Amino acid sequence: MSKTSIYGLTFEQLTAWLLEHGHRKFRASQVWDWLYKKRVTQFSDMIDVNKECTELLEQHFVIQTLEEHVKQESTDGTIKFLFRLKDGNLIETVLMRQKFGLSVCVTTQVGCNIGCSFCASGLLKKSRDLSSGEIVEQIMKVQHHLDAAKQDELVTHVVVMGIGEPFDNFANMIDFIDVIKDRKGLAIAGRRITVSTSGLADKIKEFADANTQVNLAISLHAPNDELRTRIMKINRANPIEKLMDAVDYYLTKTNRRIMFEYILLRDVNDRVEHALELAELIRDKQQLASVNLIPYNPVDEHSQYQRSEHESILLFYDALKKQGVNCTVRLEHGTDIDAACGQLRSKQIKETPEVVL
């Protein structure tokens, strides 16, 4: 019998499963506590759960499915983990030390089919979605790393911005959010979780309807269709007008702030006229929108793109601010350890061609 990750069950799903298998409801609370508060890695360590229950769990589930393959530590405290999945595939997870806490960036797919022409994570096409358990376990692996350091540190923030398009793995992503938000477990508040999408308009509306109470970021990267289609092929199916209609639906439905992410590419999308066009595009959304300007991380395979000059970044920022746009320039983390998303994975696969794809 193929076992699945216990981390893939929400609390409600775990409760229903145990009831279906003849156990009382309180067992779910016990098991949940051992998984997420005491953070055991073996069912046999759940010492106040009766043996019949732990043996049943052992028969059907596993706790650990990810194996640490490579770990890189930056001088700024960022740690990048390359995990090997049970099928041999590799995924990346990043721990970032921020002023406001410890943030983890998780991956949702093996590879990516979105095809952004500047992105390292799309160098290898999607081979499969991650299960909700595999996404949750990334958080747990990082938390176990922190636990081992014995400094009483907890993961406080999560960004779903790693390899893959989260909205292309929608159901598993929603279950993942449910698990990490649960107050009886990791208790990561919705306001401290951000999901990033390249702009799947229909899924943005579905996300609004799901009422997850987490933050949404849109990878925009261009202020018009001609330019956005050139650098992001997803824009062919989800042009800006369709995308902005979905954004309007989201803002009306949730009344939550939204962030537009904008990677600055030298002499491509970083001129002042682009900034003014961007400001006009989101003018009617400015009360609930902000722009996060991102200095580009150059990728060897995408040598046609370079990081914008510092002066260009400042001029772009200044133009947006003068138009009343709330914007920031992203603080960089891990620039000395293959900082671009997907970069470490692609380098490792080149070095170890036997990896399953």
| 323-342 pLDDT per residue, tens | 999 999 987 776 666 655 65
**Dihedrals φ, ψ of 180, to 5°?**
-75, -20
Q: Rounded mean pLDDT of 11-31?
A: 97
| 49-107 pLDDT per residue, tens | 999 999 999 999 999 999 999 999 998 899 999 999 999 999 999 999 999 999 999 99
Burial class of residue 183 (count of CB atoms within 10 Å of its CB; 0-12, 13-18, 19+): exposed
Q: What percent of the chain clears pLDDT 70, i.e. is strictly above it? A: 92
> CA-to-CA distance for 95 and 73, rounded, in angstroms?
10
Residue of 20, 67, 92, 206 with catalytic role? 92
In this predicted structure, what is the pLDDT of residue 158? 98
**Dihedrals φ, ψ of 307, to 5°?**
-70, 140
> CA-to-CA distance for 129 and 163, rounded, in angstroms?
11
Q: Rounded mean pLDDT of 142-161?
A: 96
| 224-259 pLDDT per residue, tens | 999 999 999 999 999 999 999 999 999 999 999 999
Closest CA to 53 of 37, 39, 34: 34
Known active-site residue 92: yes
Known active-site residue 116: no
Q: What percent of the chain clears pLDDT 90, i.e. is strictly above it? A: 84
> CA-to-CA distance for 143 and 150, rounded, in angstroms?
11
Closest CA to 199 of 256, 285, 253, 259: 259
Average pLDDT, the chain: 93
| 198-217 pLDDT per residue, tens | 999 999 999 999 999 999 99
Is residue 244 within 8 A of residue 238, CB to CB? The reply is: no
> CA-to-CA distance for 210 and 128, rounded, in angstroms?
24
Count of Cβ atoms closer than 10 Å to residue 338 Cβ: 23
Is residue 129 within 8 A of residue 113, CB to CB? The reply is: no
In this predicted structure, what is the pLDDT of residue 335? 66
Confidence of residue 356 (pLDDT cuts 50, 70, 90): very low
Confidence of residue 357 (pLDDT cuts 50, 70, 90): very low
